[in-house]
A and B are shown apart, each in its own frame.
Chain A
Amino acid sequence: MKYSRILSATSAVLFMGLISVNFAVAGGAIEGEVEKQPVNMAAIVMFLLFVVVTLGITYWAARRTKSAKDFYTAGGGITGFQNGLAIAGDYMSAATLLGVSGLVFARGYDGFIYTIGFLVGWPIILFLMAERLRNLGKYTFADIVSFRLEQAPIRTLAASGALAVVILYLIAQMVGAGKLIQLLFGLDYAYAVFLVGILMMVYVTFGGMIATTWVQIIKACLLLGGGTLMALLAMSQFGFNLETLATKAVEVHKDGFKLMGPGSLLADPISAISLGLALMFGTAGLPHILMRFFTVTDAKEARKSVFFATGFVGYFFMVVCIIGLSAIVIVGTDSQFLTADGKLIGGNNMAAMHLAKAVGGNLFLGFISAVAFATILAVVSGLALAGASAISHDLYASVFKKGKATEQQEIRVSKIATLGLGMTAIVLGILFEEQNIAFMVGLAFGIAGSANFPVLILSMYWRGLTTKGAFYGGYIGLFTALALVVLSPTIWVSILGFEEAIFPYKHPALFSMTAAFFSIWAISKIDKSRQAAAEAARFDNQLVRSQTGLGAEGAAAH
């Protein structure tokens, strides 16, 4: 049955593409094999339209991208509102739409709690960071970490953290995108991966940050619009009355009234805390999110962008919860969406897709599929740009050329790096086709939270941080996260096939972050060298700049 295959593959895609939700929902999202499909015309037409529009934007952006500043940070001229949308776009993947609605579909109120925890955590983190990031940074977060520390080792560390995150995340997205296109277009997996890789390279090499940001903004609007429309269509069946909807949902759901109260989602406290840490602090260490704060005009706009992003994401979460709840009634009782034993075809994460079909027919399903794909394209572009700037700005210009590279050379290297990353992503995407890659996004968050975040936050807030402390501590965090994931049930048991995992928890953040913070602290304390003293002395300078914006990068005049 063609429809169900599209759905099961889409679910596979989004399952891998998305962060949080897969962590929370224990497995079982991918059911059914992924196969080449005859076409869903509506989805293809809408997707092609998206590609044409974004290529147009890339053309426009390419003509405005002249300096390195234009390339890395869109000339620093993005407004708080636009940046808020773009950041929200980075958070709201199609998988949030599908994953959270699936969670609400399966567990009711638990899914809602999940979104609350996520949303309340991150503005706090961002406020600790947004303003100082904007005031201290130029193109990459390594600029901030190396502000008063020794350039070469610190930039190498920051770039390896950034690249590790970017590559892991890219693989997950590429494999997901490949499977999705394969299904929607009836293309071979390999061609599909090539298509995504090439589109990504085109956006980034020609359009730089300007194109990347606008692609993300358009996608955020599509996703907000599509989600809202779906929620409205669904609610119209209940007379726009939440109470009616809830009553019906409780009637038909197997958990009955328990649906409306907290359940067992956070039953294991260690896993829950670890997951929470990875989500909150990992996000604050993701290079493609951090770089968005360099694109705004000043600290004022950086703050505003957090405000808008929080609003959009919060609104989107509520919409998604309504979608999930409506799906319980509309989809959960409709036999065309259920397997013989009463389970949802394609798994719970498909609840929103089924709902799209139920309330809007094939056309609307096609639209939502196209949006899902657009999301992946927007995210891989951001990732590629973040990776390319780590290579060109940090490794090439600052470490290899010791700050003596010209702007032209630096841009050229970052374009070559984008092509290199695109190629790598294509090759790895093809190699990993048959692999279970669900752990990769989790690992990316673990590394971001255990290597990038501790070094970044301590460099801004702790005078005593030294080069040695940051360097060794950062690598300890990175490798602890890596080792713990390998030893955890996700790889040790599921992939390597051992009987029992050496490390019993799925999420390493609680342990690897502690290891990172502790070793950075301990090594910095032991370090009594003259260099360490000089670095501490430069803290005042940095503090003034981070707080006041004195000497911060301005917007390019256009």
Chain B
Amino acid sequence: MGFAPEFLAQPMSEGSTLSIGVPIGASILVFAWVMTGIYVRRANNEFDPINQKILEDAHK
């Protein structure tokens, strides 16, 4: 926003009032959330079992 304010202020298309910044902003929000989701899924379904295995091995 500090770097290219004009870019974000461009209209989305000819005759449109919403600027291109609106969908970009919205997708950043959604993107952050989706990334969170991906991390949580992987951590819970892949990393934790590995972790569990290490713990079990260590106890042997």
Query: What is the interface of chain A, defined by CB distance below 8 A to chain B?
Result: 109, 112-113, 115-116, 119-120, 123, 127, 131, 242-243, 246-247, 250, 257-258, 260-263, 266, 269, 299-300, 303-304, 306-307, 310-311, 314, 317-318, 547-550
**Residues of B close to A115: CB separation below 8 A:** 29
Contact of B26 among A304, A318, A547 (CB under 8 A): A318
> In the complex where A109-B8, A116-B29, A246-B17 touch, is A307 in contact with B37 (Cβ < 8 A)?
yes
- 7 smallest beta-carbon distances between A and B, as pairs: A261-B9, A260-B19, A262-B1, A247-B17, A246-B17, A262-B5, A307-B40
**B55, A548: Cβ atoms under 8 Å?**
yes
**B33, A548: Cβ atoms under 8 Å?**
no
**B32, A123: Cβ atoms under 8 Å?**
yes
**Residues of A close to B55: CB separation below 8 A:** 548, 550
- Smallest distance from the beta carbon of A329 to chain B beta carbons, Å? 12
- Smallest distance from the beta carbon of B24 to chain A beta carbons, Å? 9
Rounded to whole angstroms, the CA-CA distance of A116 and B29 in the bound complex is: 6
**Residues of A close to B19: CB separation below 8 A:** 109, 260-261
Rounded to whole angstroms, the CA-CA distance of A414 and B54 in the bound complex is: 39
Rounded to whole angstroms, the CA-CA distance of A113 and B1 in the bound complex is: 8
**Residues of B close to A299: CB separation below 8 A:** 48
Rounded to whole angstroms, the CA-CA distance of A307 and B55 in the bound complex is: 26
**B39, A303: Cβ atoms under 8 Å?**
yes
Rounded to whole angstroms, the CA-CA distance of A524 and B11 in the bound complex is: 54
Contact of B48 among A109, A266, A300 (CB under 8 A): A300
14 contacting pairs across A/B (C-beta < 8 A)? A109-B9, A113-B1, A113-B25, A246-B17, A246-B18, A261-B5, A261-B8, A262-B1, A262-B21, A263-B5, A266-B2, A303-B43, A314-B29, A318-B29
Closest chain A residue to B44 by CB distance?
A300
**A548, B54: Cβ atoms under 8 Å?**
yes
**Residues of B close to A311: CB separation below 8 A:** 33, 36-37
Q: Is the interface of A mostly helix, strand, loop or mixed?
A: helix
**Residues of B close to A269: CB separation below 8 A:** 2
Q: A112-B25, A269-B2, A548-B51 are in contact. List 13 more A-B contacts (CB 8 A).
A: A109-B19, A260-B9, A260-B18, A260-B22, A261-B6, A262-B9, A262-B21, A300-B44, A300-B48, A303-B43, A314-B30, A318-B26, A548-B54
- Total number of residue pairs linking A and B with CB closer than 8 Å: 97
**Residues of B close to A550: CB separation below 8 A:** 55, 58
B16, B25, B58 pick with most chain A CB within 10 angstroms: B25
Rounded to whole angstroms, the CA-CA distance of A317 and B51 in the bound complex is: 36
Chain B interface residue count, Cβ-Cβ cutoff 8 angstroms? 32
> In the complex where A116-B28, A303-B40, A304-B40 touch, is A109 in contact with B21 (Cβ < 8 A)?
yes
> In the complex where A262-B8, A306-B36 touch, is A243 in contact with B1 (Cβ < 8 A)?
no
Closest chain A residue to B6 by CB distance?
A261
Rounded to whole angstroms, the CA-CA distance of A338 and B33 in the bound complex is: 38
**B33, A243: Cβ atoms under 8 Å?**
no
Rounded to whole angstroms, the CA-CA distance of A257 and B12 in the bound complex is: 13
**Residues of B close to A243: CB separation below 8 A:** 16-18
Closest chain B residue to A131 by CB distance?
B43
**B22, A109: Cβ atoms under 8 Å?**
yes
- Smallest distance from the beta carbon of A394 to chain B beta carbons, Å? 30
Rounded to whole angstroms, the CA-CA distance of A257 and B19 in the bound complex is: 9
Contact with A along B26-60 (1 / 0, CB 8 A): 10111011011101100110001001001100100
- Smallest distance from the beta carbon of A293 to chain B beta carbons, Å? 14
**Residues of A close to B36: CB separation below 8 A:** 123, 127, 306-307, 310-311
> In the complex where A260-B9, A261-B6, A303-B39 touch, is A119 in contact with B32 (Cβ < 8 A)?
yes
- Smallest distance from the beta carbon of B12 to chain A beta carbons, Å? 9
Rounded to whole angstroms, the CA-CA distance of A207 and B50 in the bound complex is: 38
B9, B11, B55 pick with most chain A CB within 10 angstroms: B9
Rounded to whole angstroms, the CA-CA distance of A381 and B29 in the bound complex is: 30
**A303, B44: Cβ atoms under 8 Å?**
yes
- Smallest distance from the beta carbon of B48 to chain A beta carbons, Å? 6
Rounded to whole angstroms, the CA-CA distance of A376 and B37 in the bound complex is: 30
**A261, B21: Cβ atoms under 8 Å?**
yes
Closest chain A residue to B54 by CB distance?
A548
Rounded to whole angstroms, the CA-CA distance of A343 and B21 in the bound complex is: 28
**Residues of B close to A260: CB separation below 8 A:** 9, 11, 17-19, 21-22
Rounded to whole angstroms, the CA-CA distance of A105 and B13 in the bound complex is: 24
> In the complex where A307-B40, A314-B32 touch, is A242 in contact with B21 (Cβ < 8 A)?
no
Rounded to whole angstroms, the CA-CA distance of A242 and B22 in the bound complex is: 11
Rounded to whole angstroms, the CA-CA distance of A304 and B32 in the bound complex is: 14
